[in-house]
A and B are shown apart, each in its own frame.
Chain A
Amino acid sequence: MEYVNIIIDDKPIKAEKGQTILKAARQAGIGIPTLCYYELNGQQLENRPGGCRVCVVEVSGRKNLAPACATEVMEGMEIKTHSLRVVNARRTVVELLLSDHPASCLICSKSGNCELQSLAQKLGIRDIPFKGEQSMYKKDFSPAIIREMNKCIMCRRCETVCNKLQTVGALSAVNRGFMAVVAPAFEQDLAQSPCTMCGQCVQACPVGALSEVNQTRQVIQAINNPAKKVVVQTAPAVRVALGEEFGMEPGTIVTGKMAAALRRIGFDYVFDTDFAADLTIMEEGTELLGRISKFMAGDKSVRLPILTSCCPGWVNFFETNYSDMLDVPSTAKSPQQMFGAIAKNYWAEKIGVKREDMIVVSIMPCVAKKFECQRDEFKENGNPDVDYSLTTRELAELIKQFNIDFNTLPDEDFDNPLGASTGAAVIFGATGGVIEAATRTAYEIFTKKKLDKVDFNALRGLDGVRSATVDFDGTPIHIGIAHGLGNARKLLDMVRNGEANFHAIEVMACPGGCVGGAGQPFHHGDFSKVEKRFEAIYREDEGKPIRKSHENPYIKQLYEEFLGEPCGEKSHHLLHTHYFDKSKQVEVEA
Chain B
Amino acid sequence: MIKVKLAEDKINKIKEICTSFGNKAGEAINVLHKVQGEFGYLPAEVQEVIAKELNVSVANIYGIVTFYSFFTMIPKGEHPISICMGTACYVRGSEKILDEFKRQLKIAIGETTPDGKFSLNCLRCVGACGLAPVVLIGDKVYGRVTTDKVQEIIGEYKA
Contacts and interface: CB of A to CB of B under 8 A. Distances in A.
A193 B58 CA distance: 9
A588 B2 contact: no
Q: Is the interface of B mostly helix, strand, loop or mixed?
A: helix
A170 interface: yes
Contacts, number: 78
A168 B58 CA distance: 11
Nearest to A167: B57
Interface string B9-21: 0010000000000
B155 interface: no
Contacts of B11: 586, 588
Contacts of A184: 59
A46 B149 CA distance: 58
B8 A589 contact: yes
Contacts of A584: 1-4, 48, 52
Interface string A415-443: 00000000000000000000000000000
A169 B5 contact: no
B1 A176 contact: no
A168 B7 CA distance: 28
A141 B142 CA distance: 50
B1 A186 contact: no
Contact of A186 (B2, B7, B60, B62): B62
Contacts of B56: 169
A185 B47 contact: yes
A323 B3 CA distance: 14
A588 B1 contact: no
Contacts of A328: none
Interface residues of A, number: 26
A482 to B, nearest CB: 20
A342 interface: no
B151 interface: no
Nearest to B60: A172
Interface string B43-77: 01101110010001111111100110000000000
B39 to A, nearest CB: 14
Contacts of A585: 1-4
B38 to A, nearest CB: 17
A169 B56 CA distance: 8
B59 A176 contact: no
B25 to A, nearest CB: 11
Nearest to B73: A186
A176 B59 CA distance: 15
Instruction: With a 10 A CB-CB cut-off, give which of B3, B52, B58, B66 has the most chain A CB atoms.
Output: B66
Given A583-B2, A589-B6, 9 more contacts: A169-B58, A170-B59, A172-B57, A175-B67, A184-B59, A185-B61, A584-B3, A586-B3, A588-B7
Interface of B: 1-8, 11, 44-45, 47-49, 52, 56-63, 66-67
